[in-house]
Structure 1
Amino acid sequence: MANTYFIGDLQGCADQLLALISKIEQVSSNNYYIFAGDLVNRGPKSLETLRLVRTLQQTGQAESVLGNHDLHLLAVANGVRPAHRNDTLEEILNAPDRDELLHWLRQRPLAIFKNQHLVLHAGVFPSWTAKQTIALAHEVETMLKSPEYTDFLANMYGNTPDSWSDDLTGNNRLRCIVNALTRMRFCTTDGKMDFATKDGLMAAPEGFASWFDVDRATTDCTLVFGHWSTLGLLIRPDLISLDTGCVWGGKLTAVSMNDRQIIQIDCPQQQKPG
């Protein structure tokens, strides 16, 4: 049986990913990698990173959930979102295999459930169970794979609704699911999201807490996520936070699912935070 490793946000740092995989293979063979999203952007080799993870996935060695930067790439590529000043996506957009890569990216899940571990990029609402999270993620995945995916991308952005209701429908429902799974950091006890604060736990707005510290329905499994570099590496029985700021000059981190072994690579700073 393969040894599963969870790996944090890559953000176009292909050299560090290759070094991390090499380091893992020195201590473990027959490995399977699950990436916590944000494969691309801000780092220097987004195209190489996307190609590498795609090859790993197509050869049965890896899978990745979608992060907000991966969705941003799809939106920019389809002309429904302007590129940001610090984006490093041009190499992908001009690549000869651009269409194949973007098609592959659209097929990726937003959540993965494996051996009582729920993997997603950012967070979940307090009321969501693991089973419900996978089902709601599938609603978005189905839309991304459909011929109407560009219409979905055009309506994906916005901060409302900021709370979950089972009665939500249409674009509001899909947007709310995407925002939780790819953007959430802080929320209230009843699940209202905050999108303004990007600092660590001590920066929680009044009345808000980290999404994983509220009373939630997913305490029966281990939540694995990235997205929050100012939180950094955090390992608890029910939680693995993986984004250790690779692109900011921090580390690229892998954590073994079986024994919580931590393997890391030091990373050069590609961009300055903020």
Structure 2
Amino acid sequence: MKLNGTSAIVTGAGSGLGAATARALAAGGARVALFDLSEEAAARVAAEIGGLAIPVDVSDAASGEAAFARAAAAHGPARILVNCAGVAPVCKVLGKQGLMSLDAYRAGIEVNLIGTFNMLRLFAQDAQALDPLEGGERGVIVNTASIAAYEGQIGQTAYASSKAGVVGLTLPAAREFAPLGIRVCTIAPGIFETAMLRSLPQAAQDSLGASVPYPSRLGNAAEYADLVLHIVANQMLNGETIRIDGALRLPPK
């Protein structure tokens, strides 16, 4: 799928992987709607790239519907959806503070898994009615999981299981949407440089980067965005989760 003139939606677009993806899509000529829980954060990036900032709680049905309607009214129905909105809760089931609450577990599932599904279903609903492009393609969805979906560490029960759910969502959704010409892929990043990681002492950042076999550094958001662009462009990529991690495999802790 070509980017120029195409409408795209990026969730979690106010920072990190989402912001880098919004910039990359806009640089390719796409009309980008930036969804984020923080309208202020989305607006800063939107002003930079000429996009549209829309506040949204991805895990809420009504909020998602309203956001999609606003994006469609401004740019037309989207043909590209990139789900980057997410949280990274850390909590042991049996921790020093006591038993992990169901609410703490539920919070990670709500945003990372239910939020991804909510955006996916609303996108597909609109994209199915679009005129097909070359090869019958109508849309592309790129979700974000994590290598923690495969090697979750101690304290990551909520995070790892939510991301494993995103991986599990990918193939059945791709199979269901195939007759409609809508592709679904997922990216599973390793340790990437984000605002949270940048807040750590430099020694801690260097240590994390050194744990990556090659290249021995933190991933940068532009590398994630480059992979998004390739998935969008390569019509044969469908139903797959792609690791981008420098051959890293997470240890237990």
Q: Which TM-score applies when normalising by structure 2?
A: 0.31
Instruction: Give the number of the structure with larger relative contact order, counting CA–CA contacts within 8 Å between residues 6 or more apart.
Output: 1
More helix by share: 2
